[in-house]
């Protein structure tokens, strides 16, 4: 297997030099999360509304919508708007460990920071994280590299009024540890996992072929008092990770 160098760490602030594809991917992830939680045949906000909500260009919104249409999630109805056209069946998979622990403490897992900044919260994130109309979010985007090969890309969104202090910490550490270090006690969250094909953004960041199988995780977490603290999207190489859930208790004994 080809050994790849860890991605270059980009500046932690500002947007200069950021590829439109990266912003489109972030918009796609948030919209996709909202689509899967919405009623069937839900009408998306207009392009103008999405541009204002995400503070991005029209081209970025159109690329994001194009990625969602490629997945078969959207349908454009002439004169009426864009509507959802497919839903996924959800199955619970409980995972409660940070990445290094779940990989049995592999010391070779390293993080490279792509983006770490504070920015205005788009409307879907305000709903997900229970924020006010003028509240900000903290965006942390990283690539995890295992044995010199990219393993996954994680894009995490956090309420800025709670999580902003982590921007001053070493973001190559586990984010769960960093949240604890600033006094935020996180309880178990919820994962959903899907198998999808790698798009152009995944091929560039993970070093896989277009259309290669990847795993997509969506993770939501609350504080112990129920306050939402995180909404994250992870895209992981399908050839580098095996999920091994642990069955803790059976409802009845086998053969009973």
- What pLDDT score does 119 carry? 96
Q: What is the pTM of this model?
A: 0.73
pLDDT at 243: 66
Asked if the 20-84 domain carries CATH number 1.10.10.10, the reply is yes
Token representation of residue 188: 């178990």
Q: 20-84 and 99-237: same fold?
A: no
pLDDT value for 143: 93
pLDDT single digits (tens) 5-39 = 433 333 333 343 346 788 999 999 999 988 888 87
Residue-wise pLDDT for 196-211, tens only, equals: 888 877 788 888 888 8
Taking the C-alpha atoms of residue 47 and residue 141, their distance in angstroms, rounded to an integer, is 25
Nearest by Cα to 116 from 150, 173, 155: 155
The pLDDT assigned to 90 comes to 46
Q: What is the pLDDT averaged over residues 95-112?
A: 60
CATH topology of domain 99-237: Chorismate lyase (3.40.1410)
CB-CB contact of 170 with 151 (8 Å) = no
Report the pLDDT value the prediction gives residue 64, as an integer from 0 to 100. Answer: 93
Under 8 Å CB-to-CB from 137, ≥6 apart: which residues? 118, 119, 120, 121, 125, 129, 131, 157, 158, 159, 160
Mean pLDDT of 236-244: 73
Q: Express as a percent the part of the chain with pLDDT over 90.
A: 43
- Reported as a pLDDT band with limits 50, 70 and 90, residue 96 is very low
**Chain-centre distance for alpha carbon 35:** 14
Query: What pLDDT, on the 0 to 100 scale, is given for residue 25?
Result: 92
* Cβ neighbour number for residue 234 with a 10 Å cutoff: 22
Segments making up each domain of the chain, as ranges: 20-84, 99-237
């Amino acid at each position: 297997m080809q050994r790849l160098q860890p991605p270059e760490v980009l500046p932690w602030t500002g947007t200069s030099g950021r590829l439109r594809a990266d912003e489109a991917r972030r918009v796609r992830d948030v919209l996709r999360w909202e689509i899967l939680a919405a009623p069937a045949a839900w009408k998306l906000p207009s392009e103008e509304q999405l541009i204002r909500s995400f503070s991005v260009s029209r081209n970025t919104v159109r690329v994001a919508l194009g990625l969602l249409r490629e997945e078969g999630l959207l349908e454009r109805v002439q004169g009426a708007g864009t509507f959802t056209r497919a839903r996924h069946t959800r199955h619970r998979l409980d995972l409660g460990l940070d990445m290094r622990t779940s990989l049995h403490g592999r010391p070779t897992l390293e993080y490279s920071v792509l983006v770490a900044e504070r920015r205005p919260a788009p409307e879907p994130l305000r709903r997900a994280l229970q924020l006010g109309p003028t509240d900000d979010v903290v965006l942390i985007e990283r690539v995890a590299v295992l044995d010199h090969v990219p393993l996954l890309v994680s894009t995490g969104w956090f309420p800025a009024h709670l999580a902003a202090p982590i921007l001053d910490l070493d973001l190559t550490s586990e984010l769960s540890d960093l949240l604890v270090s600033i006094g935020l006690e996180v309880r178990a969250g919820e994962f959903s996992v899907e198998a999808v094909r790698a798009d152009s953004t995944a091929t560039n960041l993970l070093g896989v072929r277009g259309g290669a199988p990847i795993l997509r995780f969506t993770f939501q977490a609350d504080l112990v008092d129920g306050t939402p603290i995180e909404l994250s999207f992870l895209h992981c190489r399908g050839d580098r990770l095996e999920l091994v859930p642990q069955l803790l208790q059976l409802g009845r004994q086998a053969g009973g």
